[in-house]
Chain A
């Protein structure tokens, strides 16, 4: 045990000292919070302020729409109203092609053939990707049409405004849906990165000792199993430190009220229970993936060779990525329940489910039991491959050779 401790301690102290560790530890939470908070902030504050032209023969409709688009609380566009003619169309088309013009598109209104029907609208834009302007147009046109129709039926403007007021649903009891989704996404991404990164670090660390032949010296005093155990514990402890710091930062961020004021939700983004789950699932996920990585590291001779075998590590993670959307949509569906219990997916998916919904305790418990069993089996295989593999140089072993290694005692 003393040897395992020594190996783990060296691995830990050497890794924590590196610039890469310090940079990742500080930068990732900063980046994540910029993404989440900045994204939320931008989404809540972005207004369309494009310059468009409305071509209509109905002067009242034109004025109403102009007023709606220019001075509404969501929009601050600049709107020109024009009357339809071939000349107007030519002029506007010309302006769209002219690089110095600020016009970003024009709306052509074709009056309805029969009274009581809606006119036809066609919008020609400078760039097809300008979604915010299109959305603003859509909703504005709709409210103007309703306004006109209702006014025609004799309703007052005040009555219409009251009708049009947006509906607020109070979700503070269960948490803001958007905030929960955002934090689920962030947690998933962090977990994905942390597991992939630290799994690979285990393999790299083994290859480093293999290429530098350090372990020849090490094996003269300690057993390969001790070396492997120390390595996984050491790298894992580094990962846990980093993830712990991230979670601490997340907790700080969400309780500080900063997040709430920016996104506009009164509910904290991440709860203590979520943090605890995250750390626990990271530990198990790391153990699982790093034991696979250890075997891969022992089989190969260089980083390049490792890259080729990388997919064994990344494929389960990609699968989890694919399953993320279905699970976010329906965290309690049968599909979600089953995939989140697969040991390779639990660290990522069960964690996401737990942050989105109330997962029954037995499922959480079962996920840990299944992961533990898988870890034991994989470690058993890996330690055998490791024991033989680290002393083998030269060509990469093929499958029959690896199977033979398993039989060596």
Chain B
């Protein structure tokens, strides 16, 4: 059973098309990355997923059923804009949000305390939100999204504005939650995070889906025909027939092959010639490279440059 299933959803705001025929599926126990440059329709898609706005056409299914509001008790949502009641005490705030998600006051309070401990902000529990640092506020928001133990966790740009220590804490927590079988969707424009965390991704740009699938599938579509070799000694193996192009930066060679399978032959050739190999790596295309290439193919150079800037 798919946790989320979007089928050709479309949303137009006045004259601007925010999302155009987007379809995607999220399975339980996966970490799903929704990628795209700023203004590409990530937040609009998420809003439709949780019924905040209604798609103009297309359907949204949650937990194998057409969208209904009662399903929302099983969803945890962290919006991109962090919003909290400034004058409210942290614990009251968490209890209130927990109750809105169908918890009793006692359960919400107990879980709030446990989570604050886990996120290392126990000392903030009795304080007002406005007295806290931005990072702490973000953690509280994170807890608020998880308090009711949702099966689907949706996070819009969860890592933006966090220092590396806290970002890691957050990532580790998400990985643990995935281990418990929860489906996690997060949107980001930072590709490096996605490569590390995600099982599946969808790339969108200008409201359109460019690419989707499991990380392995996507990468396998792109040739692994590049090598990086760190060596000492004879460099004549760079002239092997499988090598299309080679650059040697005094002991670190970047090689482009004609075929993926040529890598082993090149390695054998180097060893045969007595070259000492310190490192030999088949380089996978990075998601960023794939993304830029896809955007360039669909929309031209101008748009692709925008992604790199973002």
Contact = CB atoms under 8 A, between A and B. Distances in A.
Interface in A366-397: 391
B53 A3 contact: no
A220 interface: yes
Which residue of B84, B96, B141 has the most chain A CB atoms within 10 A of its CB atom?
B96
Contacts of B83: 209, 212-217
Contacts of A213: 79, 81-83
A223 interface: yes
Nearest to A393: B81
A212 B86 contact: yes
B85 A214 contact: yes
A14 B79 contact: no
Given A6-B96, A14-B87, A221 B101 contact: yes
B73 A219 contact: no
Contacts of B145: 217
Interface string A139-150: 000000000000
B85 A217 contact: no
A220 B50 contact: yes
A218 interface: yes
A209 B99 CA distance: 18
Contacts of B82: 213
A318 B159 CA distance: 51
A222 interface: yes
A219 B52 contact: yes
Nearest to A215: B83
A6 B97 CA distance: 9
B290 interface: no
Interface in B15-68: 47, 50, 52-53
B92 to A, nearest CB: 8
Contact of B79 (A3, A6, A217): A217
B113 to A, nearest CB: 19
A212 B100 contact: no
Contacts, number: 52
Interface string A205-245: 00011001111111111110000000000000000000000
Contacts of B75: 220
Nearest to B85: A214
Interface residues of A, number: 20
B96 A220 contact: no
Contact of B100 (A3, A14, A209): A3
Contact of A216 (B72, B79, B85, B101): B79
Contact of B144 (A14, A212, A217, A222): A217
A16 to B, nearest CB: 13
A89 to B, nearest CB: 69
A329 interface: no
B69 interface: yes
Chain B, interface residues (CB within 8 Å), range: 20 to 34
Given A3-B100, A10-B96, A217 B141 contact: yes
A218 B84 contact: no
B88 interface: yes
B77 interface: yes
A218 B99 CA distance: 11
Interface centre among A212, A215, A217, A219 (most CB of B within 10 A): A217
Contacts of A209: 83
A6 B100 contact: yes
A15 to B, nearest CB: 10
Contact of A391 (B53, B97, B101): B53
A369 B234 CA distance: 99
Contacts of B52: 216, 219-220, 391
Nearest to A401: B14
Contacts of A222: 100
A218 B69 contact: no
Interface string B75-111: 1010101111111100000001101110000000000
Interface string B136-178: 0000010011000000000000000000000000000000000
A10 B96 CA distance: 8
A213 B83 CA distance: 4
Candidate in A209, A213, A221 with the most chain B CB atoms within 10 angstroms: A221
Contacts of B88: 10, 14
Contacts of A223: 69
Which of A14, A217, A220, A223: most chain B Cβ within 10 A?
Answer: A220
A342 B192 CA distance: 64
Contact of B73 (A14, A215, A218, A221): A221
Contacts of A6: 96, 99-100
Interface in A282-306: none
A208 B85 CA distance: 8
A214 B96 CA distance: 12
Interface of B: 47, 50, 52-53, 69, 72-73, 75, 77, 79, 81-88, 96-97, 99-101, 141, 144-145
Given A10-B96, A217-B145, A219-B52, 8 more contacts: A14-B85, A18-B87, A213-B82, A214-B85, A216-B81, A217-B144, A221-B100, A391-B52
17 contacts: A6-B99, A6-B100, A10-B96, A208-B85, A212-B84, A213-B79, A216-B52, A216-B81, A217-B79, A218-B100, A220-B50, A220-B72, A220-B75, A221-B73, A221-B101, A223-B69, A391-B47
| 8 closest A-B pairs by CB | A213-B83, A213-B81, A216-B79, A214-B83, A220-B77, A212-B83, A221-B100, A219-B52
Interface of A: 3, 6, 10, 14, 18, 208-209, 212-223, 391
